[in-house]
Structure 1
Amino acid sequence: MRSLFENLTFSRLFLGRLVTNAGDSAYAVAAMWLAFQLGGSSFYTGLAGFLTMLPQTLQFLAGPLVDRWRIRRILVGTQLAQGIFVLTIPVAYAMGWLTVWVVLVVMPILSLLNQFVYPAEQAALPRVVDKDELVEANSAFSFAYQGVDFAFTALGGIVIAAMGAIALYLVDSVTFLAATLVFLGVKIPAAESQSNGEETKEEAENEDPENVTSALDDYLAQLRDGIDYVRGSILVWVLAGSLVVNAAIGSTLAVLPAYAKAHGGSDAYGFLLAAVVGGMLIGSLAASPLERFSLAALSIGGFLFGGVVWLAAVAAGWFPATLGLFFLAWIPVGATNVIFAAMIQSVVPEHLMGRVSSVLSSASVGAMPLGSLLGGLGGDAFGNAVVMTTTGFGFLCIALCWLIHPQLRAIATLDDLGGEEYGLSTAAGAEPSESF
């Protein structure tokens, strides 16, 4: 992995991801706890989760723009804008205007801006590292994401308990500014299939206004390219299981603040989030050695293990045991996330990467907003432990999906995905649509 960090562009992307994830992690803890504190029930955290996750389902709309715009401009612009919006919460607090509804308005705006960031990073990696380095590169990025998330979610709950949620918002604004400065120094090459460099693309953005209709038609055509690629491949069935588990995860996140309050308060909330993220961190670090195993075996065995351990965590009744079991339950999630990201990057052509990755992201989290809303309502009606139990069964559903589908069950390694039966090699050979 050392050779990756000798690549200056990759190193800057990695550093930028570290910093921006620090901000995201601090914000996530502060926002959900503040919504619970100001609203006073799981309904408001469920609504907050719904509003935050809803923009994620629209990420596929950003795909064609990511494939067209300069990636550095996307990264810099989104970080700067998020830093400004985060500051509105401390300002509203200082002016005496802060209510739960102010928090609920800011949350989806920040989430919407964030939908450009991860497709842009996903599209950048194949341009800056060799194909045989993609698993290691994604593992490093997952470490940056999960490692920082682990530290800041754990510390976030403690900071809230000591200084209040507003202090975390101030920290968050500083991290977004720092990420903006880091991304200013990143230079991303154009995709190989693009005949013109990014400077030519920049000129194309200054088109005559009379060509707006044509540009819209081209945008829609490129959007269809990404949707058709996914729809005609085995990826549809991969997403089917993800929808179930993501609905369950959304419901769990909605009741987690109230569940944590029953076990100690904001510090318990931070530790619960850190246990989840810590498990994903260990899983992402284990992805490289696990790459040699069958994708089907990893998915079936990993999520079967995760589901059983999650159910045991809810039933444990002793908070330290719950933390440890939550940690174990998320290890397979971290490992499979890294391997699947490398799978997509290894088979999807560069000119489609932004569109395909954003379509996959939108589809995979499509059930989370509804799950969050229903989880908040269910937590008030049936109890938080009942809602959290559903996540364990969601994990088991993914294992079952891979077990009963013959093509999923037959997938061995990344190289096997080039076969016609998976619908990826044909799509990968498609000609790029004309840039708009």
Structure 2
Amino acid sequence: MELLLKNKNFLFMFLGRMITNIGDSIYYVAAMWLVYDLGGSAFYSGLAGFLTMLPTALQFLVGPFVDKWQIKRTLVLTQILQCVLILIIPISYRFDFLTVQLILIVMPLVAFIEQFAYPAQTKALPLLLGKSELMKGNSLFSFAYQGIDLVFNAAAGILVAMVGAVTLYIVDSVTFAIAAISFSLVKLPLRNNKEYIQENKTNGRHAIKKYLIDLKEGFIIVFHSLLGSFLIGSVIANFAIGITFAILPSFADSRGGSEVYGLFLTGLSAGSLIGALLASWLGKFKTGYLSIISFAIAACCWTLAALIPFTTIAIILFGLAWVPIGGTNVIFGTISQMVIPNEVLGRVNSVSRSMSAIAMPFGSLLGGYLATVFNSQFLFALTGAGILFISIVWLFHPKLRALPQATELSAETFGLKFGEEYEKGSPYSDMIN
């Protein structure tokens, strides 16, 4: 709270983050349920999940742009574009041409725009906060993300039943407009204007060449360091999570309807939020052992959540499975901001997130199909193995297993070549050329 009161720029960024997350939470629940309702099959919710998650897997393509564009302008424009796109749904409903196909077109467009917004927010934090404040700042951001989900996933599920999904789209559009206003009030240090103007004067061929070089550098940094090893377990886990998101509407429908769907998403958010709030405490343990033990426990909770007949207990167990995910996201997000220069942070984080999430949309697509063949409860239980895979990878990978406390992690720990500053003449230039 002290951080918010003494830093107005961080306060406006935090409020913008909270408001845009409200929009995201309402939108996701309303969209997935509307697709399931209009399509009448889990296949359509699986397809919707695939189309919504695919842009995240392609986020590496936007990383170089995020590193080049002015952060504030990027944040404001992304919110305005989402505001306009979301309005298409209620307008089409008002004039009686709303179809499941139209929703399946709008959903990935909104998701694609989000891929510019979140890396830009991540880049903004090191410019607004000191290194000693970054862990607190990331925890607050994660609190905004997961805390809002905690409230509005449950609320959206109930509101879908009360007022309908289409009405929620109007509310959603308003939240993105308010978020744009909040981001517009943030004062960020501008990039070197001469450098910025020069980059935008370059001809098309040179601009494309520079973009490809920046893109390649992001991949080289990730896959020539321990960051690449993190992705091994994440890919399988995200494939399983993709299946879960696709079958969750069907699974929840068998247990009570849209309210239960919202409550399962609330459990997910609650677990992630608890993990985020515990991040500073969790960071005191050896990272390798923490990951091995916590993800093994999470896998057990996940599987039991599918098998136990009591819905309330199932939701609690499902939430507990997300605690280590929320905690490690904050820990490694903070470390990346500390050890990776801000000039390349966008492309490095976007490559890591893309490669980690690349299997998620395909898991969602497969999950939608499998739900038409197999019982959703069986599939839900099976996906717990994906979380267990993270624990197994860290157990048998010697460098991951030996990772020390978060406070002891450095660029050298990850095998990164960066020193204190990122100088022109990248340390990876010999690999790029």
State the TM-score, normalized to the length of structure 2: 0.95
Of 204, 208, 211, 1:216 maps to: 208
Counterparts of 1:335 and 1:206 in 2: how far apart (Å)? 39
1:19 and 2:19 matched: yes
1:203 and 2:221 matched: no
Closer/same/farther in 2, CA of residues 99 and 430 from structure 1, 3 Å limit: same
Letter in 2 for 1:150: L
1:302 and 2:308 matched: no
Counterparts of 1:286 and 1:248 in 2: how far apart (Å)? 25
User: How many residues are paired up?
Assistant: 426
Closer/same/farther in 2, CA of residues 414 and 432 from structure 1, 3 Å limit: farther
Counterparts of 1:162 and 1:43 in 2: how far apart (Å)? 25
Structure 1 contact 4–129 (Cα < 8 Å) conserved = no
Secondary structure of the equivalent of 1:97? coil
1:59 and 2:59 matched: yes
Displacement, 1:36? 0.1
Secondary structure of the equivalent of 2:244? helix
Counterparts of 2:283 and 2:410 in 1: how far apart (Å)? 17
Letter in 2 for 1:384: S
Partner of residue 146, structure 2: 146
Counterparts of 1:362 and 1:141 in 2: how far apart (Å)? 20
Of 329, 337, 340, 2:332 maps to: 340
Letter in 2 for 1:203: I
Secondary structure of the equivalent of 1:272? helix
1:111 and 2:111 matched: yes
Displacement, 1:6? 1.1
1:279 and 2:279 matched: no
Counterparts of 2:97 and 2:414 in 1: how far apart (Å)? 55
Report 1:85-234 matches (<5 A): 85-190=85-190, 197=192, 199-200=193-194, 203-204=197-198, 206-207=200-201, 211-234=203-226
Counterparts of 2:249 and 2:24 in 1: how far apart (Å)? 18
Counterparts of 1:140 and 1:235 in 2: how far apart (Å)? 24
Secondary structure of the equivalent of 1:423? coil
Counterparts of 2:341 and 2:78 in 1: how far apart (Å)? 25
Alignment root-mean-square deviation, CA: 1.6
- Which string of whole-angstrom CA distances, capped at 9 and with x for unpartnered residues, describes residues 107-132 of structure 1? 00000100001110111111111112
Structure 1 contact 27–172 (Cα < 8 Å) conserved = yes
Partner of residue 193, structure 1: none
- Which string of whole-angstrom CA distances, capped at 9 and with x for unpartnered residues, describes residues 125-163 of structure 1? 111111121111110000000001111100001000011
Of 216, 230, 236, 1:238 maps to: 230
Partner of residue 77, structure 2: 77
Counterparts of 2:424 and 2:237 in 1: how far apart (Å)? 34
Counterparts of 2:209 and 2:265 in 1: how far apart (Å)? 43
Letter in 1 for 2:7: N
- Which string of whole-angstrom CA distances, capped at 9 and with x for unpartnered residues, describes residues 238-272 of structure 1? 11100010000000000111111111111111111
Secondary structure of the equivalent of 1:360? helix
Q: Please, which runs of 5 or more residues in structure 1 have no aligned partner? A: 191-195
Secondary structure of the equivalent of 1:264? coil
Stretch moving more, 318-327 or 404-413: 318-327
Displacement, 1:5? 3.8
Structure 1 contact 303–398 (Cα < 8 Å) conserved = yes
Displacement, 1:21? 0.3
Structure 2 contact 283–407 (Cα < 8 Å) conserved = no
Displacement, 1:54? 0.6
Report 1:312-323 matches (<5 A): 312-323=304-315
Structure 2 contact 305–381 (Cα < 8 Å) conserved = no
State the TM-score, normalized to the length of structure 1: 0.94
Of 345, 361, 378, 1:353 maps to: 345
Secondary structure of the equivalent of 1:418? coil
Displacement, 1:425? 4.0
Letter in 2 for 1:151: V
Closer/same/farther in 2, CA of residues 213 and 34 from structure 1, 3 Å limit: same
Q: Please, which runs of 5 or more residues in structure 2 have no aligned partner? A: 427-433
Counterparts of 1:296 and 1:428 in 2: how far apart (Å)? 25
Secondary structure of the equivalent of 2:98? coil
Displacement, 1:428? 7.2
Counterparts of 1:266 and 1:3 in 2: how far apart (Å)? 38
Counterparts of 2:96 and 2:248 in 1: how far apart (Å)? 28
